[in-house]
Every structure is written in structure tokens, then in C-alpha cells.
């Protein structure tokens, strides 16, 4: 019997999608008569993650007390380890009151259909000081130029807390039918594959040679049976490569450069927080929920700009309580192609190298090459992958 890693804080996944067709139809009908609010894209992403079981064992949106506790101590007020607040923040509660059932409308789908129904258990107002403190704790900065901070601040300061029942997976299941997968679907596929040791790789970008080799290294060193490439399908910052292009590039790489049936390409419906270390912990929580036993964390994981130190997202795992997570880390250094060794290596494992011994290209330099129709060096990017990216950049 193949026993998978247990979900976070629970014996079984707790997906909040109403799975029964007739119950879901009834709830959708009921929702039309309820007071409705259009939620933020961030809250819609939270609802999708709750629906898909990734946020097990949460049953809905947090209270202010839980969010402040998470900010302060990485735990909810009941002691559940959780790294980032999961909130439904709005700017104006109007006539909403505790005890109401409300319909949550989806800002990311045309016509703003109902995404979920929420039972209001608390309506909490964050003071300016409380918001500032929480933002500092979660994002490590209060700089309004930080994309995650800007997005958080734009939502409002009133938290509508309480359990939710979710009707659909927003646009993710329809726009990415081959890639979007729930935590239960990934667990099911892992079990069907007979995998016992599973490495997860997070990406919001196409994968270059260094990423590819990092996955090979992790699988080899951990003696893993399989790799789950898990890509973010939600909102990114301007200039990031859209999900369909990333998807095509990654699938091409897997098909050509990984053994058959050794890797799954999947995705999840969530907006990027750019919260660096805290987001790395959140990524680990939902990778454990989807069945991975190991998680690759490299340089500047979930970071943006110069807000975080290169390996802060690894170091935070050494600071959390023992046993907070069952998933284990594979810590990766910066990887690059060594001209001396004619292969990709972790730079820390090549002490006899100078900078000139590596093929190092900045993201800006690579984007310039691609937009000019020039393929980056073969040491940096597989030609088949570069071709897909060049086509995208030349359309822009």
C-alpha cells in the first residue's frame, strides 16, 4: 500500500468545493438571492486554493485575530502553523452583519459570477497600525512600491471572516484545462504512478537549463521517484511571461529532456504574493497538501527586486517549530553552466571557479535577446524552449 504524506494539520484533505452537482446547483440558485460583494483578485485566489484543498485544514477566511497571530507567530490563534494571512478584505462593509450569508462574486471572470458563498462569523476593522505591522511581518517591508504590499493595501481594511462553500475554480479550470489540478488530483496521480518520494518545483517563469538541471539534481540526490512541476497560473507583475507561454515551454522541456513518466506538469490558481520567505513557507504547506515529500527552494524564492536576501527563504525553515511541516526541503544554491566542467552545477560546489568560468546572463539580457529574435546560448536555454519564448517576445 502506497501511503502518501499526510496533509497539513489534518488526516485528509479538506477541499471546500461543493463537489455534488445537485448541491452545487442548489447553492448557486440560493446565492442569486443573497447580498453579493465582488471580492479582490487576492481573495478570489484564496477561495480557489481553499476549494482545491491546497489550504487544508482551513475552512474559510481568517478573522483579524487569526491574521494578526499569523503575522506575529506563524500560527493561528488556535495554534495551527500557518505563514500568511488568508483574508477576504473589503473597503466598505455597508449593511453586512455577523450571521449573514453572502455571495462572493469573481472579479476575474466576465460578468462576475458567484464564486463562493460565505457565512459571516466576524466583521473586523484593521487599524492603520495593525495593517502596517502585519504587512511588515508578512512582506518584510512596507514599501508601497513592493507589488505584494501594493496589492494588499489596495484591498481595504475590513476583514469578512467565516467559512465558505466554493462553486467553481474561477477561470483556472477553463483557461488551463491541461494544467490546473487540485491537491486531490495531484495526490491521486502520484498514487497511480506508485511514487513514494516526490519532489515539488515551484515556478512562475519558464525553466532554463539551470532550473532543469536543479530538478535532475534534486531527484538524483533524494533518490526521488517523481517530480511535480507546479506552476502559478494567477496574476503576476507586469513583464512576467504569461502562463500559456510558460506552460508550452515547460512541457517541451519535460518531453525532450526528462525520462518518460518521471515528471508531471501541473498548475494552481493563485496570485503571486512576492512575499519571499513567508511565501516560501506557504508554498511548502500546499506542496505537502498535494502529496510532495520534498520541496526545492533555491535562491530568492518568491522574491522580487532586492527586498530579500538571496537565501532568506531557505533560512526561515530553520526558524519554524520542529514538526510544523512534514515536507522536507531541498536547499539549492545558485545554479549556472560551468564552461570548465561543460555542465550545470551549483556554484557553491565549484569553489575553483571564477565568475568568468560560468555562463551568467541577467533576465534583462535574456529578454533583450529573445525580443530581438536571438536564441540565448545553448548553455543557458534549450533551443526548443528558446524558440517558444522568442515567438512570444516578438509578438509583443
User: Which active-site residues does the annotation give?
Assistant: 204-205
Q: DSSP E strands: which ranges in the chain?
A: 35-38, 60-61, 89-90, 101-105, 114-119, 122-125, 158-166, 198-203, 226-232, 263-268, 294-297, 328-331, 335-338, 343-346, 358-359
CA distance 184 to 92: 36
Contacts 24+ apart (CB under 8 A), 142-150: 143/307, 146/274, 146/304, 146/305, 146/307, 147/237, 147/272, 147/274, 147/304, 148/272, 148/273, 148/274, 148/275, 148/304
CA distance 316 to 332: 14
Say which residue the cell 535532475 belongs to: 216
DSSP 26-69: HHHHHHTTSEEEEPPHHHHHHHHHHHTTTTTT--EEPPHHHHHH
Residue 83 DSSP code: -
- What's the N-to-C CA distance of the chain in angstroms? 51
- Whose CA is closest to 45, among 171, 130, 210, 203? 171
Strand partners of residue 228: 200, 264
Amino acid at each position: 500500500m502506497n501511503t502518501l504524506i499526510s496533509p497539513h494539520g489534518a488526516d485528509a484533505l479538506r477541499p471546500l468545493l461543493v463537489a455534488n452537482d445537485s448541491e452545487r446547483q442548489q447553492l448557486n440558485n440560493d446565492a442569486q438571492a443573497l447580498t453579493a460583494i465582488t471580492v479582490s483578485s487576492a481573495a478570489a485566489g484564496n477561495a480557489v486554493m481553499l476549494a482545491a484543498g491546497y489550504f487544508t485544514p482551513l475552512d474559510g477566511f481568517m478573522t483579524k485575530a487569526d491574521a494578526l497571530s499569523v503575522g506575529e507567530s506563524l500560527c493561528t490563534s488556535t495554534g495551527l502553523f500557518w505563514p500568511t494571512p488568508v483574508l477576504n478584505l473589503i473597503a466598505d462593509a455597508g449593511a453586512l452583519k455577523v450571521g449573514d450569508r453572502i455571495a462572493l462574486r469573481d472579479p476575474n471572470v466576465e460578468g462576475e459570477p458567484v464564486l463562493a458563498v460565505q457565512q459571516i462569523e466576524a466583521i473586523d476593522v484593521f487599524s492603520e497600525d495593525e495593517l502596517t505591522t502585519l504587512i511588515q511581518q508578512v512582506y518584510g517591508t512596507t514599501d508601497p512600491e513592493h507589488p505584494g504590499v501594493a496589492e494588499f493595501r489596495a484591498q481595504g481594511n475590513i476583514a469578512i471572516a467565516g467559512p465558505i462553500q466554493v462553486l467553481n475554480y474561477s477561470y483556472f479550470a477553463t483557461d488551463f484545462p491541461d494544467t490546473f489540478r487540485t491537491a486531490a488530483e495531484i495526490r491521486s496521480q502520484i498514487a497511480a504512478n506508485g511514487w513514494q518520494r516526490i519532489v515539488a518545483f515551484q515556478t512562475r517563469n519558464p525553466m532554463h537549463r539551470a532550473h532543469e538541471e536543479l530538478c535532475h539534481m534534486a531527484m538524483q540526490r533524494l533518490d526521488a521517484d517523481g517530480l511535480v512541476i507546479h506552476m502559478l497560473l494567477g496574476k503576476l507583475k507586469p513583464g512576467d511571461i504569461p502562463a500559456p507561454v510558460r506552460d508550452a515551454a515547460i512541457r517541451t522541456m519535460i518531453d525532450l529532456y526528462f525520462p518518460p513518466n518521471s515528471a508531471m506538469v501541473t498548475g494552481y490558481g493563485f496570485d503571486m504574493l512576492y512575499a519571499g520567505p513567508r511565501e516560501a513557507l506557504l508554498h511548502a504547506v500546499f506542496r505537502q497538501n498535494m502529496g510532495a515529500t520534498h520541496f526545492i527552494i533555491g535562491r530568492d524564492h518568491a522574491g522580487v527586486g532586492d527586498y530579500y536576501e538571496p537565501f532568506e527563504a531557505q533560512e526561515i525553515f530553520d526558524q519554524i517549530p520542529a514538526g510544523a511541516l512534514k515536507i522536507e526541503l531541498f536547499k539549492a544554491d545558485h545554479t549556472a553552466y560551468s564552461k570548465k566542467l561543460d555542465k550545470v552545477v551549483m556554484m557553491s560546489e565549484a569553489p575553483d571557479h571564477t565568475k568568468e568560468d560560468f555562463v551568467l546572463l541577467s533576465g534583462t539580457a535574456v529578454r533583450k535577446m529573445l525580443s530581438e529574435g536571438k536564441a540565448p546560448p545553448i548553455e543557458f536555454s534549450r533551443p526548443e524552449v528558446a524558440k517558444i519564448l522568442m515567438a512570444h517576445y516578438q509578438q509583443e
